[in-house]
Amino acid sequence: MSPPRLSHSAALILKAISLGYCFGFDVMEITGLPSGTVYPALRRLERDELVESRWESEEDAFSSQRPARRYYQLTREGKAAALAATERYPLLARLLPEKHS
């Protein structure tokens, strides 16, 4: 099955997640997109099974003295879609730097 065609914003968000920006605010900050775009887009990507989310363990969050984050990661279909999106929008790769954790 061919990967779904994504809008520019969705492709940007998918690319950000593939580069290691894995929670909502992180994605919002690096892409510069408004929160009103990022959060519904993340929900849509999750509904379309391009990304999946998991909650950080409470222990890890507690040790860093912050609330647990909801982390997003690409699924296999999401990786294929991110690749296709990079081919469709070549500037995406240059827009976002890789995350140094």
Partner 1 sequence: MSTRQSLLPLFHRVVLRCVKNLVPVSERDEFLRSWHAELWHMNDCARRRRLSAIRLHLDLPLGVASDALWLRTHNLRRNLAGTPTLSIVSLLSLSLLSFAFAVLSYGGWHALGLYFTRQAEHCLVAVPIILFVSSAIASFSHVEVNSIRHTLRWINHLAFASLKTSLALLLMFLLSVCLSRPLYIPLPRAADLLQLLFFVLFALLAVRWSFHDQEQRCKQCLCSLATPARVGRPSHNLLEWTGTEQTCRQGHGRLSVPEIETSWHQYSRWIDQGSGLDPIASA
Of residues 8 and 43, the one with the C-beta less far from partner 1? 43
Complex with partner 1: residue 23 or 89, whichever CB lies closer: 23
Residue nearer to partner 1 on the CB measure, 40 or 93: 40
Q: In angstroms, what is the minimal distance from the CB of 39 to partner 1?
A: 4
Question: Minimum distance from CB of 47 to partner 1 (Å)?
Answer: 7
Place of tokens 């990507």: 45
97-to-18, 27, 32, 69 alpha-carbon distances in Å: 11, 12, 13, 22
User: Closest distance between partner 1 and the C-beta of residue 32, in Å?
Assistant: 11
Spatial separation of the C-alpha atoms in residues 49 and 37, rounded to whole Å: 18
Contact residues for partner 1, defined by CB under 8 A = 23-26, 28-29, 34-40, 43-44, 47, 66-70
Instruction: Give the burial class of 86: count Cβ atoms within 10 A of its Cβ; 0-12 exposed, 13-18 middle, 19 or more buried.
Output: middle
